[in-house]
Each structure stands twice: as structure tokens, then as C-alpha cells.
Amino acid sequence: MSSDPRRAIPSTDRLLALSEVVEAGTRLGSPKIRRIISDVQAAARRGDLAPADVTPRVVAAVQTAQTTELSPALNATGVIIHTNLGRAPLAAAAREALAAAAGYVDLELDLADGKRAKRGTWAKTALLARAPNAEDALIVNNGAAALSLATTALSVGESRPEVVISRGELVEIGAGFRLPDLITSTGVQLTEVGTTNRTNLDDYRNAIGANTGALLKVHPSNYWIGGFNATVPTKALANLAAAHQVPLIVDVGSGLFEPDPVLPDEPTISQALADGADVVIASGDKLLGGPQAGLLLGKADVIAQLAKHPLARAFRADKFALAALEATLNAPSTPVHDALHADASELLERTQRIATAIDAEVVPHEGRVGGGGGVGVPIHGWALSLEEHFAEPLRTGNPAILPRVADGRCLVDLRCVPPADDQVIIQRLSEIVEVQR
């Protein structure tokens, strides 16, 4: 009777003693190394790997392993704010701020007198400089947190707190996330008014009662209704809210501060404040081009009420978000802004240069803002048109290059690819062409 070949699998102690594994311990923690060893041993026990190959497989794995499984990627989809790729890529200034914040920093300390100070005042100062018609501001960890905090803290009725909102704004966004579920999760009651396609001022007026804590207006972001439709402007809602002494919360979504001719219908923070909203909510990692953050700007007494609520502590932004947000607000531009306003002729020239290098076709291509911003607005540009089988090796290479696959073609749009990486794309495409010959 032959012995079980699995007995030849090297033990964990033996593998841990390998010089290459010991050296890897200067980069990787013991739990990570042990997981690698365990995974390789398990593959051998299943018969997927010969026992003799365990040692070289472990050595190769620990030598190439990194402390994070996140993979850098080049966004060649033409979608600027790509949620699956981490939304907004940060400006160089924001990346430098993250590195500086990695150590000890004066997050809640006044270095002049050595006493405790308010958290992240420098980030709030930069935010208010971009929105001078806001009296005060508060920064939390994301847009959903900002909306939950505002609706919870401001909705104080005689019995159960209530928020009035149009039915046409009860939206579901990515991954099945529904705003009504978020708002009601803290005990706030939603009073729906109007219909899906039409809501008028009287609908809000007739719904206001003793329990009404706030009126809420939400930019639908990733969908729109055409044809026979009507919504109530922010200014009219603000006047109604003021007359009934209830606050108006306006969620503009994508974080555009000032009007942009590329996105003529996108609501802005500045206009919502000018129209009389008591608090305006936006995300930091969309059109602003910064880190994940929830921005609340508005009247001083309203912001003070939000800051005192217990949820403000649970939702507060960490030092990295505050540092990157401040740097984004103070930077001359961001990758998101640059991609949105990329010169069409330069994009065409870059695309043609790569097409010539690999003998590919250039076709018109409409990009998108993404992240719920500029919904339905095409961003005219160009793309390399390749056979669909190019997509998989582009996506799984190093660095990962994510193209768009549509109508049986692999489309490589350079709008969001830094020009310095054009040569990387040429090299990768050339390698794929060579392999597939």
C-alpha cells in the first residue's frame, strides 16, 4: 500500500523557516504570510498542486505579495466618476496631504497655545471659502451620512418627527441603496407628496402639520423624468418653509459649487444656498473631485444644531478625508475637472497616435460624468475600437486597464487616462496583439 502523497507537503514550520519567507517578513505581517502558506498547502491537499511545487509556489507568492489587495487601474471607460474604480481620482495636492496626514498632525490641537481645538477647522475654512454665501459648514464621512444626520437632527415634531418630500425624489441609487430606507432608519417618518412625475407647491403646503420637522428636496441624480412633469423650485420651497418656520434641506448630490457650461442642468451648492435653503448637502468625491465626504453647508444655527447631534460623532470625517478635502479645495484643479473639460482635439490626437502604433480604428465615443452627476449628458470624445477579446487581458494585467465593452467591441477611451500613461497602453496592447497572432 503506497503512502498518501499529501504526506510530502512541507509543514508550516518548514516553510516559515525558508530564507525567502523570512525576508518577506520585513514587508508582510505574520498573519498575511501564514495565510499564503495555508492557501498553497490547501491547493496541494486538494490535488491542484504537486507537493514538490509547494515550496517554490510559496516563495513566489510571498515575494510578490503586497500588504493590500487593491490594484491600481487606468480608467479607459470614458466614465469620469466611476464608482467601481473608487469615484474621483485625487489631485496631486490631495495625495500629498494624505501622506502628511499619515503621521501625527494637529487635527484637534492649536499649536500656538498647546490647547485642544475644534476638529479640522482648516478644512472647514477652505470649504467656506468656496461657498461664501454659507454661514457655516460641517463635514461628515459621506453623502448618505450627511442626509441621515440632517433629516434626523432637524425633524423635531410634536410626536413622531416627519420629513416632507416629493414622490418623484424617493430614489434608489447604486447597489440597491434607497434614500427612503436611509431616512426612516432613524425613526423619521416620510410624508410623500405629489406624484412620481408632478409635484406642486400646494402639495407641500397641504402636507405641513404639527409633526413636520423639515421639507426635503433631493436631486434625483441618476435618473430623470421627461415629458409631462413638474417640480417645485428651491426658492419657492424655501419661502414656504420659512413661512411655516421649518427648515429646508436640499441635497444637490454631486457637489458642483458653481455653474458649469458642460453641465447646464446640474444643480449647484451656491444656487441652492442663494435660493434660501437652510442646509445644502453634497458629496465630496463626485464633481468636487475630492475624497469621500459628506458636505453640509448653510445657516449657522442649523449647522450648530447638526453638529450637536449624537450622530455627528458617529458620522465624523477622519483626518485623511479632512486633509484631502482641504487640499482639493485649495488646489488649482482636479483630475475630475480636467477630464470633464479635456480638449477634444488633444484627445483625438492621442487616440490616433495609439491607433497608429497598433493598427487599430478610432471611433467617436460618448463618455459620461458618472456617480449620478450630469445624468443623460453625453461627453463627446473618441475611443480605440478593438475586438472584444482585448478586454479581458487589459483588465487582468498590471496595471489593470478597464475599457468599455459595448456592441461586441472593446472601446478604450483616453479621457480619464493621464497622457503620461499612453505609452503603458501602447505597450500592453502591443503585447496582446503579439500573443494573439
pLDDT tens digits, 93-103: 999 999 999 99
Query: Is-contact 35 80, C-beta < 8 A?
Result: no
pLDDT tens digits, 264-278: 989 999 999 999 999
The residue-averaged pLDDT of 237-243 equals 98
* Residue 173 in this model has a pLDDT that exceeds 90: no
Q: How long a stretch of residues is the chain? A: 437
The residue-averaged pLDDT of 77-103 equals 97
Q: Which residue has the higher pLDDT, 226 or 417?
A: 417
* Residue 368 in this model has a pLDDT that exceeds 60: yes
pLDDT (0 to 100) of residue 48: 94
pLDDT tens digits, 24-54: 999 999 999 999 999 999 999 999 999 999 9
pLDDT (0 to 100) of residue 159: 57
Domain 90-332 belongs to what architecture?
Answer: 3-Layer(aba) Sandwich (3.40)
The residue-averaged pLDDT of 176-205 equals 92
* Residue 402 in this model has a pLDDT that exceeds 60: yes
pLDDT (0 to 100) of residue 5: 79
How much of the chain exceeds pLDDT 70, in percent? Answer: 98
pLDDT tens digits, 296-332: 999 999 999 999 999 999 999 999 999 999 999 999 9
How much of the chain exceeds pLDDT 90, in percent? Answer: 86
Confidence of residue 1 (pLDDT cuts 50, 70, 90): very low
The residue-averaged pLDDT of 412-416 equals 98
pLDDT (0 to 100) of residue 122: 95
User: Domain ranges in the chain?
Assistant: 5-64, 73-83+338-435, 90-332
* Residue 158 in this model has a pLDDT that exceeds 60: no
pLDDT (0 to 100) of residue 433: 87
Top-level class of domain 73-83+338-435: alpha beta
pLDDT tens digits, 91-149: 999 999 999 999 999 999 999 999 999 998 999 999 999 999 999 999 999 999 999 99
* Residue 17 in this model has a pLDDT that exceeds 90: yes
pLDDT (0 to 100) of residue 4: 79
Please provide the average confidence, as pLDDT, over all residues in the chain. Answer: 94
The residue-averaged pLDDT of 69-83 equals 95
pTM of the entire predicted model: 0.92
* Residue 437 in this model has a pLDDT that exceeds 70: no
